Amino acid sequence: MDSDNMDEKGKGFKSGFVGIIGAPNVGKSTLLNAILGEKVAITTPKPQTTRTQVRGILTGENFQIVFVDTPGIHLPKKLLNRRLVETAEKAVEDVDALLFLVDVTNRSRKEEFAIIELIKRLKKQVILVLNKIDKVAKDNILPIMDEMSKIYPFEAIVPISAKYADGINRLLEEILKILPEGPQYYDATTITDQSMEDIVEELIREKIFLLAKQEVPYSTAVKVEEMKYEGQCVKIRAVIFVERLSQKGIIIGNQGQFIKKVGTYARMDLEHLWGKKVFLDLWVKVLKDWAKDEKQLRRLGLSK
């Protein structure tokens, strides 16, 4: 950012980076989308959907908050899952504050303990966010607040429903209380620093997670191979990688119906996001056991 812009956004302007952490499937991506009022992170009912660091940017008259959504922190066994946890931990090392998101309907004490230990190591200011309060009686929230306040000195505890955007304004107020004065890092119209290719890959993966059953979605990765701009049209060729030949058949589907449905839903989202006509050409290739192969994880951008 240039010095002129820093002078323009001088004293009184608050800014900073806020990491969103939590166990898998607690609603981190749903929360980020609710805060921004736009879809920048994929959401599905399945756990461990987010694989990469996703930044969402909220800019107001006197503030700019850069949210960092991360893969769910859990106790990993597979190489891919270990890399996802490493991605999550690295993503929040340099943030100004943390949102620790807990699903009040489905708590995992082991994962909560692991995250608390991470928080202690990072020595950040932390707001505890209790999500999915729309699904439980209010009387059940207070004991959780009391329990968690004894475990760690949170700056605030905020009950929310990310799905219905309930409690979001209160959460933003608490975040702004602890953010320092600082510069505007991004243009006010920017809501994410993801590339268009990143967004395409994630949206295709989201549709596979929503439409496919059991373990198949976890064995898929998506890579954009070509993107061309022709006036108000975007032509995209992307490859869906699977680990086994049998999975290739499932992703293609009977007479190509499954992959056609994935492409249609992803294209509709992209056209809504960009306001342009999108032509999406999807291919399926087998990349044997890619989730266990460090070299292939790097090729797919899932390991450094």
Q: Flag whether pLDDT at 87 surpasses 70.
A: no
Run of H or E residues at 156? strand 156-159
Which element (helix H / strand E) includes 145?
Answer: helix 141-151
Amino acid of residue 126: V
Given this model, what pLDDT does residue 259 score? 95
Q: Report how far residue 28's alpha carbon sits from residue 71's, in angstroms, rounded to the nearest whole number.
A: 9
Q: At what angle do helices 245-252 and 257-274 cross, to 10 degrees?
A: 60
Strands 54-59 and 63-69: antiparallel
Q: What pLDDT shows up at residue 303?
A: 59
Q: Helix or strand or coil: residue 55?
A: strand
pLDDT tens, 38-62? Answer: 777 766 554 454 445 678 899 999 9
Which residues does residue 8 pair with via DSSP β-bridges, in sequence order?
A: none
The residue among 147 and 289 whose pLDDT is bigger is 147
Nearest to 218 by CA among 247, 195, 194, 198: 247
**Which architecture characterizes domain 3-178 according to CATH?**
3-Layer(aba) Sandwich (3.40)
CATH superfamily of 196-299: K homology (KH) domain (3.30.300.20)
In the chain, CATH 3.40.50.300 sits at: 3-178
Interhelix angle 196-211/257-274, rounded to 10 degrees, is: 140
Task: Give tens-digit pLDDT for 91-146.
Answer: 677 789 999 999 999 888 888 888 888 888 888 899 999 999 999 998 999 999 99
Closest CA to 148 of 137, 135, 136, 159: 159
Backbone φ and ψ for 241, nearest 5 degrees, come out as: -95, 135
Using alpha carbons, select from 102, 141, 125, 117 the residue that is nearest to residue 174: 125
- The 10s digit of each residue's pLDDT in 175-230 is 999 999 999 999 998 888 878 898 899 889 889 988 887 667 678 889 999 999 98
Closest CA to 45 of 91, 86, 105, 100: 105
User: Residues spanned by CATH 3.30.300.20 within the chain?
Assistant: 196-299
Nearest C-alpha neighbor of 58 from the set 190, 199, 218: 190
pTM over 0.85: no
Contact present, 53 and 32 (Cβ < 8 Å):
no
Q: Any long-range contacts for 267-275 (C-beta under 8 Å, 24+ apart)?
A: 269/39, 269/203, 270/199, 270/200, 270/203, 270/234, 273/39, 273/199, 274/196, 274/234
